[in-house]
Amino acid sequence: EVQLEQSGAEVKKPGESLRISCKGSGYSFTNYWITWVRQMPGKGLEWMGTIDPSDSYTNYSPSFQGHVTISADKSISTAYLQWSSLKASDTAIYYCARRKHGWFGEVNITWFDPWGQGTLVTVSS
Amino acid sequence: DIQMTQSPSSLSASVGDRVTITCRTSQSISIYLNWYQQKPGKAPKVLINAASSLQSGAPSRFSGSGSGTDFTLTISSLQPEDFATYYCQQSYSTPWTFGQGTKVEIK
């Protein structure tokens, strides 16, 4: 079974650093990009960025570029999302998801499946 | 960035009702459109990709249509387990973006 297992909930203070993880299993980790998605309390889904675990190529949303770092360690099939200095506005659930893609006629479509269970990050003084 | 606008933001419906959710994009995206279902406290799950292709394991009462800028998700006969929030998502260009969500509630 393909699974993404995320690290547990975190409670941090503003200014602290944090790294959360997402471990893939049941498939070849380097064959699929990993995406991170933010969901602020009571809000919708926001794509943060994507990493290719085979070579660590990353693509960030401009909204998150410079605020977070996405990385991966293919030797342990794990992707990471990292902050160097958290803010209260970083309070959210963060999901990782596997990027899948396929051909539908002449177009190559990307979608996210499966998703990890989510990691709740709470930043409060 | 491609803007995604879903309507309605929420709706109330009864079991057995036919439900339609619309997603409009700020520019033409061909069929680069996916639909996800998110239940409270759970991660999203993909229902439909490429605008109309039902994901393996998704119930056949779900269907999608559209291309260009206007897309529709239809639930032919609403079941108790379908009460959730639904999101459209474009994969035409990065940053990949989601609609704001449509919450389907019990009437």
What DSSP assignment string belongs to chain A? --EEEEPPPEEE-TT--EEEEEEEESS-GGGS-EEEEEE-TT--EEEEEEEETTTTEEEE-TTTBTTBEEEEEGGGTEEEEEESS--GGG-EEEEEEEEEEEEETTEEEEEEEEE---EEEEE--
Chain A residue with minimum CA distance to B91: A110
The pLDDT of residue B106 is 86
CA distance A110 to chain B (A): 6
Q: Are A123 and A87 in contact (CB under 8 A)?
A: yes
Task: Point out the residue among B44, B49, B55 whose CB comes nearest to the CB of A45.
Answer: B44
Interface test with B, best of A108, A113, A120 (most B CBs within 10 A): A113
Q: What is the pLDDT of residues A6-17, one digit of tens each?
A: 999 999 999 999
**Residue A97 in this model has a pLDDT that exceeds 90:** yes
Q: What are the chain B neighbours of A97 within 8 Å (beta carbons)?
A: 43-44
Q: What is the pLDDT of residues A33-49, one digit of tens each?
A: 999 999 999 999 999 99
Nearest alpha carbon to residue B50 among A77, A22, A21, A111: A111
Sequential pLDDT tens for chain B (107 residues): 999 999 999 999 999 999 999 999 999 999 999 999 999 999 999 999 999 999 999 999 999 999 999 999 999 999 999 999 999 999 999 999 999 999 999 88
Is A116 in Cβ contact with B44 (below 8 Å)?
A: no
Q: Which A residues 19-48 touch B at CB under 8 Å?
A: 35, 44-47
Q: What is the pLDDT of residues A21-31, one digit of tens each?
A: 999 999 999 99
Chain A residue with minimum CA distance to B40: A42
Is A111 in Cβ contact with B89 (below 8 Å)?
A: yes
The pLDDT of residue B11 is 97
Is A45 in Cβ contact with B89 (below 8 Å)?
A: yes
**Residue A115 in this model has a pLDDT that exceeds 90:** yes
Chain A residue with minimum CA distance to B103: A44
3-class SS of residue B21? strand
CA distance A37 to A34: 10
